[in-house]
Structure 1
Amino acid sequence: MARRKAAEGPQAVPPSEPAAEPNAVQKVCALLRALAGPGPRRLTDLAAETGLNKVTALRILDTLAQEGFVARGPDGRGWRPGTEFLALAARAGRPDDLRALARPSLVRLAELSGDTVLLSVRSGVEAVCVEREIGSYPIRANYLDIGSRRPLGVGAGALALLAWLPDREVEAILGIVAHRLDAYPRLGVAEIREAIAAARARGYVILLDRVVDTMGAIGVPVRDETGRTVAALSIAALSARLRERETLLAEALGREANLMERERVPARRQEPA
């Protein structure tokens, strides 16, 4: 009987197992979470925050950069979210620094024009609408929602993102998007090349009746401190309304783009490496 009670008594507790090593997806998610904070993050800080060693963290960051989800900061040392990350954040309604920076400009342009104002960024060979402000004019250009994508060159914002890239890069992109232009019979590769030349000559993009009948848009690039195009501001409206006010709207867009560029550069330079 004593032996039976002993057998039924408390059993020894096995030693706890070590925490499982995070899998590849969990490591990627950890880095993306760490990058969601403000400002470029150093590799050392990212590795410490995520518990990854620097070699593993750098390998993942390099792959994410190739896919557009992260990018190096302006000084080349820190890491920040890339355009694909930005597009996902926009679709989820999460604000980010570029959208927040653009909001006052979008509001002012919508008030001035009465029309739809768009902020677009590049994602590979596509343009992504990441923010929009609708003006008071009753006939609106509502064919682009936040998160909408188009091939680079299709639309004023998409063309502004493309037009001021180096010529070799432009040609490489056109070679890729050429087979995607069937849905836009009035805007083939030849027409895009012509529009690029015209945009470079005048300093802004204007496309009328090329993507949507009777509608058009006018747009300008927003550049970083190196002169590289990082976004585009555009106004979409009835073609007739754009023709009547082309100079006025082009100048207003240019002022707002310049303001965004001036406000963006000091903010980036003040961030720690």
Structure 2
Amino acid sequence: MSAEEQADPEARKTARPSPVQRALWILRALSDPQVRRLSDVARATGLDLATASRLLDVLVEEGFVTRDDKRRFGIGPEVFQLADVAQRRVDLRALARPSLERLVEEFEDTAILTEASRGESVCSDIELGTFPIRANYVEIGTRRPLGVGAGSLAVLAWKPEPERTARARLTPQQRQRYPRLTPEVIAAQIAQARERGYVLFLDLVVEKMGGIAVPLLDYEGRPIGALSIAALSERILAREARMARRLREEARRITAAWTRRAVPS
């Protein structure tokens, strides 16, 4: 399935998905705290109500989804158990947590860990800043198309060129939500990021707010995530060089620790 089909419910309808794919769409949709009712799930996945209801019943029975007495759905305990197993292998969140805390202590603005997930970016950890005006539009579990946001763009910008090109276009539905992020703007942002070595993403999603980010690269140079600071655009511009330097330093710490655990000795 193409990246556009994954992200666009309308495209999914003609893709002849398997029942397993449909169930995975539901689990992914439920990671959004705004998706709680059957109608929310159907709308988020592009499934009809009957299909969504049938799959939810199976997922509830197997423990992958919870359902309360008001028929609101949520991620179930089986998902968290699988997540625990995955995290025990190489827990990027645990490796990045000290870096997030150090960045907030130094700059007083919100620090974010982003990871890639099937053509999207996911906020996997966050340390809120202490400055009174701060980014409040991202929380743990927030999913965005690759290229939307500083950390997300850092992941996209350091992917291999063919994948970069394929992922750098938003669907019509996504373009309505992020009208400033035209293909030309995303391409220019990628080129500038690769030239300077970090992403500077200002006023493109939220007016007067932005982010500065660096990729977290594995031992083969592939992005496994990104480290970013979100703040008022003017606060980033005033400290751009220092923020970029510190983000790079912390990224090197994280990726060195990740490599020691991920690569067999």
How does the TM-score come out when normalised to structure 1? Answer: 0.63
Q: Could you tell me which amino acid in structure 1 is paired with residue 256 of structure 2?
A: R
In the alignment, which of 184, 192, 198 is matched to residue 186 of structure 2? 192
Please point out which of 259, 262, 268 is paired with 2:256. 262
Q: CA deviation at 1:93?
A: 9.7
State how 1:1-273 maps to structure 2 within 5 Å: 96=87, 97-175=91-169, 177=171, 179-270=173-264
Query: What SS does the corresponding residue of 1:194 show, helix, strand or coil?
Result: helix
- Structure 2 SS opposite 1:219: strand
Q: TM-score, normalised by structure 2?
A: 0.65
CA deviation profile, 1:215-243 (whole Å, cap 9, x unmatched) = 01000000111111001001000001001
Residue 167 of structure 1, CA deviation:
1.4
Distance 1:220 1:195 in 2: 13
CA deviation after TM superposition for structure 1 residue 178, in Å: 5.9
Measured after TM superposition, the shift of residue 269 of structure 1 is 2.8
Larger radius of gyration: 1
Supply the distance in 2 between the matched residues of 1:256 and 1:98 (Cα, whole angstroms).
13
Q: Given that residues 129 and 146 in structure 1 are in contact (C-alpha distance below 8 angstroms), is that contact kept between their aligned partners in structure 2?
A: yes
- Tell me which amino acid in the other structure corresponds to 1:265: T
Residues 170 and 183, structure 2, Cα contact 8 Å, conserved in 1: no
Change (3 A) 1:93 1:207: farther
Alignment root-mean-square deviation, CA: 2.3
1:196 positional shift: 0.3
Task: Tell me, in whole angstroms, the C-alpha distance in 1 between the residues paired with 2:241 and 2:114.
Answer: 21
Contact residue 152 and residue 177 of structure 1 kept, 8 A: no
CA distance in 2, matches of 1:149, 1:142: 14
Identity of aligned residues (%): 48
Instruction: Name the amino acid aligned to 2:236.
Output: L
Please say if residues 125 and 177 of structure 1, whose CA atoms lie closer than 8 Å, have aligned partners that are also in contact. no
Residue-by-residue CA offset, 1:133-175 (whole Å, 9 max, x unaligned): 0121111101001000111001100100100111111111124
Say if 2:158 and 2:223, in contact at 8 Å, map to a contact too.
Answer: yes
Q: Give the conservation status (yes or no) of the 8 Å contact 2:145–2:170.
A: no
Cα distance in structure 2, aligned partners of 1:123 and 1:171 = 17
Q: Distance in 2 between matches of 1:121 and 1:175?
A: 19
Distance in 1 of aligned mates of 2:122 and 2:237: 25
CA distance in 1, matches of 2:110, 2:142: 14
Residues 45-67 of structure 1: per-residue CA shift (max 9 Å, x gap)? xxxxxxxxxxxxxxxxxxxxxxx
* Matching residue of 1:9: none
